[in-house]
Amino acid sequence: MMYKDLYRMASEMVPRAYAPFSKFKVGAALLSADGQVFTGCNVENSSFGATICAERTAFVKAISEGTMEFEAIAIVSSEGEAWPCGICRQFMKEFCDGDFKIITGDDEDSLKVYTMDEILPEGFRL
């Protein structure tokens, strides 16, 4: 799968996001090692700590279906380029090696691709 395809799938999730408080809608598309794609969007909550990001939604869907090996994730927001928050970076590190790719950009023609090691240097697992 091409990164542009993954980015498009993430873009399709943005309108599904529930973000009445921040108005910052995010979509994600997670590519597994076996070629499956799991999508997600952010879901806010009146109890802000209960909010879940698009990236974690996609990972939880994949893991709950038995998929544990991943290659890349595309992340898109209602504002264009979006980056994983600190919690999401650590969450992804739990399941991904340093070569895992994070894809974002303002549109599919201006994609930026970074590795897990680049966005979370010195990440850890217990």
Q: What is the fold, at CATH topology level, of the domain defined by 3-119?
A: Cytidine Deaminase; domain 2 (3.40.140)
Of 12, 44, 55, 94, the active-site residue reads 55
Is 118 assigned a catalytic role?
A: no
Other Cβ atoms within 10 Å of 11 Cβ, number: 16
Q: Which residues, at least 6 apart from 43, have a Cβ–Cβ distance to it below 8 Å? A: 17, 18, 51, 52, 57
Domain ranges of the chain: 3-119
Question: Model-level pTM?
Answer: 0.96
Contact assessment for residue 71 and residue 31, using Cβ atoms and an 8 Å cutoff: yes
Contact assessment for residue 81 and residue 72, using Cβ atoms and an 8 Å cutoff: no
pLDDT tens for the chain, 126 residues: list them. 699 999 999 999 999 999 999 999 999 999 999 999 999 999 999 999 999 999 999 999 999 999 999 999 999 999 989 999 999 999 999 999 999 999 999 999 999 999 999 999 988 888
